[in-house]
């Protein structure tokens, strides 16, 4: 589990670094027509919207990774909460925040 703990902490650090570097991209766009044209403002607004969506994904992923750390601490990491089976190591290596085994994840997708 210490390998997964290190992997998760590394990914959390990466996401926190990304947050620091993208703060300017999510800032409010100044709508001053004397300094920039209409198309430039539209581009800036689109860029801001894309940066905000990326920030939402980053926050969601960060939350999932922190939950995975909590599961490690509680001894439930790698155990599917729906069926109780072990989640495949390869699946956890690909996404250490994954919560469900492949069978339960597939069944959930079929229901939705």
Residue 76 C-beta-side C-alpha neighbours within 13 Å: 14
Q: Give me the pLDDT at residue 40, please.
A: 79
Q: What is the DSSP letter of 88?
A: P
Provide the pLDDT for residue 1.
73
Contacts of 54 (CB under 8 A, 6+ apart): 22
pLDDT of 33 reads 58
Q: What pTM does this model have?
A: 0.75
Tens of pLDDT along the chain (112 residues) come to 779 999 999 999 999 888 777 666 556 656 555 555 667 778 888 888 898 899 999 999 999 999 999 999 999 999 999 999 999 999 999 999 999 999 999 999 999 8
């Amino acid at each position: 589990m210490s390998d997964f703990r290190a992997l998760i902490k590394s990914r959390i650090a990466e996401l926190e670094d990304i947050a620091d570097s993208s703060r300017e991209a999510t800032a409010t766009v100044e709508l001053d027509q004397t300094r920039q044209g209409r198309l430039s403002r539209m581009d800036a607004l689109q860029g801001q919207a894309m940066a905000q969506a990326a920030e939402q994904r980053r926050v969601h992923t960060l939350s999932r990774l922190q939950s995975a750390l909590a599961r490690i601490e509680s001894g439930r990491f790698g155990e599917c909460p729906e069926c109780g089976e072990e989640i495949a190591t390869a699946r956890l290596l690909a996404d250490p925040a994954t919560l469900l085994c492949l069978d339960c994840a597939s069944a959930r997708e079929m229901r939705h």
